[in-house]
Structure 1
Amino acid sequence: MSSIITYQAARTVAPTIEQHFSNLLGAARQTTIENLATEPDAATIEKIIDTAFWASLQREEGHVIKISIAYLPPAHTKHPVLFLKRLPLTAPVLTKLAPGVERPGIHIGVWQEDGELYIWGTTRSIPSLCFVVDVSEPGLMVIKHRRRDGFGKYANVAVLKGDQIKIIDEQNTALDDCPGFLTSLLGLTTPSTTVAANILVQLAVSMRAHKRGGTLLVVPTETTNWQNSIVKPMVYSIQPTLSGLARLIQHQEEERTKGTWQSALKKEVDALAGLTAIDGATIITDNYKLLAFGAKIGRAIGSSPVDEMTVTEPIVGNEEKKLHPAHNGGTRHLSAAQFVHDQRDSLGLVASQDGKFTIFSWSPCKQMVHAHVIDTLLL
């Protein structure tokens, strides 16, 4: 490719991303998965990221550019929108296209011929493990791919913000202690756990999206011990406890045969996540029954205040820290850490108004609360 790469972070990160997709697709070819994507080489990765970066800094009629670029030929997608004439892959062209393709699920299709990349049209359907560059704000590029089974949020590979580069670390040693849906965010779940884990992923994404901040507590179905850590009375306690999300999951096979399950699931996830915007914590069981919202967390009688926890972020080069919960966030973070400290079979999901997202779980190995900072995975 003859064009000059002027965004140096693109050149820095391209070989790592090339190797990641080579390993990912190489392993997938040893399975029965069909409809796999084409591997992008480093030069292609550089060019797409570089062009996306410069487009992200532009505005179209005063609006920030939001685009998703997928690397694939038109033949590898279903029902593409094909342009009569190919368009060059340049920042001005992406800027002009942006208003028409900013809705979620629409990708600008890019392929190459004779060493030159071009835009062939748009699509809503891409193959498994397809290389995607997502731009949602100026200077922010998220490199991701469609999951092998096609279900749930795309798996992030790297995040570039200006000259900052964060590579997702799938081999993070902290994974030994992490809750199942964090491994789902990293693309490491087995088929048997994918649905359950991905529902919590979608809840996390939806909580972050409303930008009001919120807390979601996930408690075991078989016990009511969690009530010892909640201030009484609970004004918004729910009876009966079977939520729309729980009903949908119980009847997922029936809904899937209708072809309506994915859209119905999103509606129920957004409805439940919306409750977390109300002051206080939303509480659900581990089978998604809604128990309460707007609940106030208190320290259980006889328990000690949580004075230290371990904090990690699943990116390459991150070092584990031990902090007081008050040094990792505000009141929501402190109360969720205390709840998990007292109710060790529970999870606490906390979204901050600024986009920070943390999962609190109990670490049996470290015998303390473990705060997983995962906003990089939710972009």
Structure 2
Amino acid sequence: MYTPRPITYQAAQLIAPQVEDLFKGKLQSALESGTDGLAPAPPRPVIEAILDTAFWASLRREEGQSPKISLAFLPPEQTEQPLLFEHTLSLSPGGLTKIAPGVERPGIHLGVWFEQDELRVWGTTRTVPSYCFVVDVPEPGLLVIKHRRTDGYGKFANVAVLKGDQVKLVDEYSANLPDCPEQLTSLLGLSAPSATGSTTPNVLIQLAVSMRAHKRGGTLLVVPAGSMDWQKSIVQPISYAIQPAFCALADLMKQEEEKKKRSRWQESLRREVESIAGLTAVDGATLITDTYDLLAFGVKIGRPRGSEPVSRLLFTEPVKGTRATVIHPSQHGGTRHLSAAQFIHDQHKALALVASQDGSFTIFAWSPCEEMVQAHRIDTLLL
């Protein structure tokens, strides 16, 4: 019988009941739909203990470095080829800090499960079942609660983000907003690839994650293939135009579904995504088509002759307790955000993805229903 431990991180106690209910609901729905091989439901005391330990561990340092770890709540028999410790480790801030340098690579999870009356770390794994309770520690004081999607592909779905005493619980129902972009519904786990028979990861999401990772800020403009209307919103001449268009990423996406399941294809995709995302660090915007042909980078956005300056946008964030609000573009960000909003104001069929140096990330899209630019802040989903 597990004996609950004292919790000193108050945010963990605040959010644990909601997280417990959320995982119970998802697992129950999955069971009713016939899904098997599901992860165990995390009880509230376990959620509190893992969050509490992870938070205090994140504030420590080992050889001058802050720990970057991922904790998964599951027994080793629910994994494939687990790395098992002969002697399990105490789930403590000190223990996690010591082992962190060896398990900080992406995709490695420290497995946590019951041993007699306490929680222990039994080893590591790269595979976890659907809806497994996972806590990532990307930086000091920042925790991300997430789970593996039922289809098994793409980025894990985020459930909540805790930063110090700030708690943000992801609101899946924000995808019900009119004209919600596909990228947002995919991040919320509401557009499973299996629904279309495709296992292809959402490329724009991968580009967004990579753009955010370089921490220099940047803008990616996505325009309709075969249309040149976007040139009306770009200052000429373009310093770094690509002629002919660079089509390596586009060619990858055209390959057969069977090839997309192979590790070689996945590695090629990662390499091309990082290449294009890296260009967004150059001053100006990077421009690709919606079929992933690279057209230019370092472009300057300008307002077409006769166009009115964008004066309002609908701001949303997929966090419970927030509401869509109409604001002036200058209230959301600086020059990069304002120019992206202006571009969408004039190019209704385009998308603009904007990363800030502080880690915030926004998708700008035109809303036919609201007849204005929508700014969807999604950094809570990208962590």
- Category of TM-score, reference length = shorter chain: over 0.9
Q: Is the alpha carbon distance of 1:78 and 1:197 closer, same or farther for their aligned partners in structure 2, counting shifts above 3 Å?
A: closer
Structure 2 stretches lacking a partner, 5+ long: none
**Cα deviation per residue 1:100-136 (whole Å; 9 max; x = unaligned)?**
1111111101111344211100111111221100011
The aligned counterpart of 1:117 is 119
State the 1:252 CA deviation: 4.5
Give the C-alpha shift of residue 325 in structure 1: 1.2
**More displaced 10-residue stretch of structure 1: 336-345 or 258-267:** 258-267
Alignment partners' CA distance in 2, 1:5 and 1:194 = 44
The whole-number CA distance in structure 1 between the counterparts of 2:381 and 2:212 is 12
Match of residue 90, structure 1, among 87, 92, 113: 92
Query: 1:175·1:183 contact (CA, 8 Å) conserved in 2?
Result: no
2:366 is aligned with 1:357:
no
The residue aligned with 2:137 is: 135
For residues 1-379 of structure 1, what are the structure 2 equivalents within 5 Å? 1-172=3-174, 175-191=177-193, 192=196, 198-253=202-257, 255-256=259-260, 258-379=262-383
Instruction: State the alpha-carbon separation in 2 of the partners of residues 257 and 240 from structure 1.
Output: 29
1:325-379 deviation per Cα after TM superposition (whole angstroms, max 9, x unaligned)? 1221111101100000000111100001111111101111211111111111111
Distance 1:194 1:323, change over 3 A: farther
Structure 1 stretches lacking a partner, 5+ long: none
Q: Deviations over 1:214-273 (max 9, x none)?
A: 000111114221111111122222222242211111115353364322222111111110
TM-superposed deviation, 1:32: 4.9
SS class of match (1:240) = strand
1:232 aligned partner, one-letter code: Q
CA RMSD of aligned residues (A): 1.7
CA distance in 2, matches of 1:218, 1:87: 48
CA contact (8 A) 2:312 2:326 kept: yes
Does structure 1 conserve the Cα–Cα contact (< 8 Å) formed by 2:315 and 2:376?
yes
368-377 or 168-177: bigger deviation: 168-177
Distance (Å, rounded) in 2 between the aligned partners of 1:148 and 1:172: 20
Query: Is contact 1:218-1:346 (8 Å) kept?
Result: yes
Q: Which moved more, 1:27-36 or 1:143-152?
A: 27-36
Matches of 2:10 and 2:297 in 1, distance apart? 47
Which amino acid is 1:160 matched to?
A: L
**Letter aligned with residue 234 of structure 1:** I
Return the offset for 1:34: 3.9
Range with greater deviation from structure 2 (2-11 or 64-73)? 2-11
Compute the displacement of 1:310 (Å): 1.4
Asked if the contact 2:365–2:373 (Cα under 8 Å) also holds between the matched residues in 1, the reply is yes
SS of the residue corresponding to residue 202 of structure 2 reads: helix
Secondary structure of the residue aligned to 2:287 is strand
Distance 1:369 1:196 in 2: 28
Whole-Å Cα distance in 2 between the matches of residues 139 and 194 of structure 1?
A: 37
**Distance verdict in 2 for CA 1:151–1:24, change over 3 Å:** same
Q: Percent identity?
A: 60
SS at structure 1 position matched to 2:242: coil
Evaluate the alpha carbon distance shift between residue 15 and residue 320 of structure 1 in structure 2; reply closer, same or farther with a 3 A threshold: same
CA contact (8 A) 1:174 1:312 kept: no
Partners of 1:180 and 1:197 within 8 A in 2: no
**Is the Cα contact below 8 Å between 2:199 and 2:257 reproduced in 1?**
no
Contact 2:222 2:350 in 1 (8 A): yes
Runs of 4+ in 1 over 6 A off after TM superposition: none
Count of matched residue positions in the alignment of Structure 1 and Structure 2: 379
* Secondary structure of residue in 1 paired with 2:177: helix
| 1:358 partner letter | T
| Contact preservation (8 Å) 1:153, 1:198 | no
**Is residue 183–residue 205 contact of structure 2 (8 Å, CA) maintained in 1?**
yes
Query: Which stretch shifts more, 288-297 or 170-179?
Result: 170-179
